[in-house]
Amino acid sequence: MDLQKVLEATNAQDKSRLALELVKKELELSKLQQKIASQIEDKMNKHQREFMLREQLKSIKKLCSIQQLRSYHAANGALRMVAEDGKELGIDKDDGSDALLQKFKQRLEEKTVPKEVKEAIDQELEKFANLAKESQEYQMTRNYLEWLTNVPWGVYSKDTFDLKKAREILDFRPRKWDGLLSCLLR
């Protein structure tokens, strides 16, 4: 529409003024688009850098335990992909994972866990140690470990198979359970 006004103008001075206004608007729009593109690029670069650093940390954790990494880093000052304070990759950041691992292990020490279950729990503990706290898998694995370590392994109740006692208990129940009662006592 603005271009139409420029074309409709009969006076050269009016055409120049309208054309200049149109160019200014286009320049402002172009600057705004550049600013938005720059912000998006910066954000993408930041996310890409964070992703790359997270993946590097996962690889490092797989190669050696975090304790060995800390001692190696402290001993000879190597491994310079981390910032001076060691926080860029989150190595020195205490996110509570170590405390949780200790809590899970301590719970298991008090219990008699079957060998197969112990192997599965150890596998889950190792996986948990290598997960980023922000991931969904971290929370799922944590919940699973909470459940596994809270199961009363090695604690058994004395089972009694007294049909008379069962009959007394079931007879005390409401009549609508008669079908269930006859099925159970068969």
- The tens digit of pLDDT for each residue in 134-171 reads 778 889 999 999 999 898 888 887 877 788 887 777 67
- One-letter amino acid of 98: D
**Which of 139, 109, 132, 133 is closest to 121 using CA atoms?**
109
pLDDT tens for 73-115 read 555 444 444 444 444 445 444 556 788 888 988 988 888 889 9
**Which of 30, 34, 10 is closest to 22 using CA atoms?**
30
As a 3-state breakdown, the chain gives helix, strand, coil percent values, each rounded to 5, of 70, 0, 30
- One-letter amino acid of 157: S
**Which of 163, 155, 85, 97 is closest to 126 using CA atoms?**
97
List of long-range contacts for 51-54, beta carbons under 8 Å, 24+ apart = 53/81, 53/88, 53/89, 54/89, 54/132
Cα–Cα distance between 148 and 153 in angstroms, integer?
9
Cα–Cα distance between 143 and 79 in angstroms, integer?
33
pLDDT tens for 23-71 read 999 999 999 999 999 999 998 888 888 888 888 887 777 775 555 545 5
Amino acid 75: pLDDT: 53
**pTM higher than 0.85, yes or no?**
no
